[in-house]
Structure 1
């Protein structure tokens, strides 16, 4: 009985293609995971800064409520307002700012020693970049 040799040429080629595909997919998975980690870190930093500003705003609001409830006259109320508070007619305004140049702008209205929030807005100051590359300036 004569044995024929096993031809492994095509089988070897298919195995090598599969190995190369798996290696490429592994590298792509790693790159995607790192990009997602960077994005998640940016999102976490953004949320942390948002909540830091919210905390500053809530602390200021609490101080104003305490002053309004304890003050016996309007002059005493205005004298004991927290630092950074601006009086604008019947509105009290406060701007909290963090290190990322984001601001929380708050305005409350005084009504019979009660306060009502009329503005609570977070904004980030936009800064125009001078060097924008090779763009046409018109």
Structure 2
């Protein structure tokens, strides 16, 4: 890893954590170093180099790890107030464009909202909502659906 991505890791560790890669490596703090690398943001130099490496890309595709299950949700750790505002602006603009197309007589699709982070609270709310909906269906003799 250091042979291939040493310069990127050195720069990222210094910028993000204020840590010198050489000091950690010489002190044999390998577990700590790996924890710091795992915590680097998705937009780090290391991740850019890693994801643009053809050998790694081939291995990821061959292993089937690239097949995402479900919808993408950005990590909360990279969700800044600026990103939240830009996402709102993008969604509002997309809805406005769809409305304009509809008013002009075109066939407008409802725009899909941009992805946002999902927390355990969001997942539990969604589960409770599904359970409440299922209870209503059950009241009217509907079939039970598995989630």
Q: Would you say same fold, with TM above 0.5?
A: no
Instruction: Identify the structure with the greater strand proportion.
Output: 1
TM-score, normalisation: structure 1: 0.26
Greater RCO, CA 8 A, separation 6+ = 2
TM-score by length of 2: 0.25
Q: Name the structure where helix makes up a greater proportion of residues.
A: 2
